[in-house]
Amino acid sequence: MTVGHETAEPRRRRADAVRNTEAVLQAAKSAFAELGVDAPMREISARAGVGVGTIYRHYPQRSDLIIAVFRRELDATAAEADRLAAELPPAEAIRRWAESLAHFVGTKRGLAAALHSGDPAYAPLPEQFIGVLGPRVQAILDAGAADGTIRPGVPAKDLIHALSRLIDSRPDAGAYDGLMVGVLLDGLTAMPGRPG
């Protein structure tokens, strides 16, 4: 009896910690998007429904929290590429993934002041951005090249940079309407001798 109770208690604490972490990251993401990366920690803690101490316990520096939000959104964007690649033909998968990238770029815009501040804590993030997304996007591009629906020889890194810049050039980057992205992707999927 006692042993079962003792193992259930740490499990419940771990589950609570995971829920708190997720709530903090979601609250920080929305606060950064609305108020910028200098959003007060009290505001983030209120949105997350946790104490300020909980945030500082997990993220002692503001940069720790900003990096955690960036990585969480990056991982979600990468997971979406994997899911779409498994479920859809390559040409459709890459179009749908561009929408996911737009949401990530919208989040990244909220973090831009910090990411471009020169703080060495953020230096690895651009490389991680391509390192995490590149192989997944390249797999979709290669599959499309193999089945004849995507122009061969397009490096994922170049496509990701081009899409990111197009999306980021809009004042409402998170509100994806896809016009210019669609034009870019039409060129990617228009094959010689095939109607584009």
> Across the 196 residues of the chain, what is the mean pLDDT of every consecutive 10-residue run?
57 76 94 90 96 94 94 96 98 94 81 84 92 97 96 95 81 59 85 51
The pLDDT score that the predictor gives to residue 179 is 75
Closest by CA position to 105, among listed 155, 51, 162, 38:
162
Query: What CA–CA distance (Å, rounded) separates 104 from 164?
Result: 9
Residue 140's pLDDT is 97
CB neighbours of 16 closer than 8 A, spacing ≥ 6?
A: none
| pLDDT at res. 58 | 92
d(CA 47, CA 24): 8
Q: Return the pLDDT at 9.
A: 62
Please indicate, yes or no, whether the overall pTM of this predicted structure exceeds 0.95: no
How many angstroms separate the CA atoms of 187 and 37, rounded?
Answer: 36
